[in-house]
């Protein structure tokens, strides 16, 4: 038996502003943008060169979902962006206006820094040593 997680839903305020952030600030690829109705789209983005999970950007469509935009994990780091070159990606993201919450630090598991996306969700940029 083989199973895998292929998408993680990220609740967003607006499709187009989310696409712009992920493709322009984080240099992700827009892998799909399919209209499903007048108000819904199937929008997927993923890191360039990734063979793994992609983000499914889902526009909030209820007051309860709107409350979750930017805080899907209660303030904890939500997603982990692994890189093969920490300093390259850190400096490129910083030059594109990505907001870092702290300075890079060395941990037992690797080099890491926390940043936030356009809605305030916390991410780790990580170069793993494991």
Would you place residue 4 in the very low, low, confident or very high pLDDT band (cuts 50, 70, 90)?
confident
Quote the domain boundaries for residue 8.
1-61
pLDDT digits (tens, 9 = 90+) for 94-128: 999 999 999 999 999 999 999 999 999 999 999 99
Domain harbouring 121, CATH code? 3.10.180.10
pLDDT digits (tens, 9 = 90+) for 6-35: 999 999 999 999 999 999 999 999 999 999
Would you place residue 129 in the very low, low, confident or very high pLDDT band (cuts 50, 70, 90)?
confident
What is the b/e burial string over 42-59, where b = at least 16 CB atoms within 10 angstroms of the residue's CB? ebbbbbeeeeeebbbbbb
**Residue 67 within a domain:** no
Neighbours of 36 (CB within 10 A): 9
CA 99 to CA 104: how far, in whole Å? 13
Decide if 72 contacts 121 (C-beta within 8 A): yes
Query: Considering the chain, what is the average pLDDT of its residues?
Result: 95
pTM: 0.92
The DSSP secondary-structure symbol of 71 reads -
Domain count, the chain: 2
Q: Do 53 and 4 sit in the same domain of this protein?
A: yes
């Amino acid at each position: 038996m083989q199973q895998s997680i292929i998408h993680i839903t990220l609740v967003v305020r607006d499709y187009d502003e989310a696409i712009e952030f992920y493709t322009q600030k984080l240099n992700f690829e827009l892998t799909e943008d399919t209209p499903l109705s007048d108000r819904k789209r199937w929008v997927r983005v993923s890191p360039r060169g990734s063979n793994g999970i992609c983000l499914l950007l889902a526009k909030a469509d209820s007051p309860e979902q709107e409350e979750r935009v930017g805080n899907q994990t209660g303030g904890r780091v939500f997603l982990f962006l692994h890189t093969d070159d920490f300093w390259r990606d850190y400096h490129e993201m910083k030059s594109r206006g990505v907001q870092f919450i702290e300075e890079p630090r060395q941990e037992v598991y690797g080099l890491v820094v926390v940043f936030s996306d356009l809605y305030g969700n916390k991410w780790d940029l990580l170069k793993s040593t494991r």
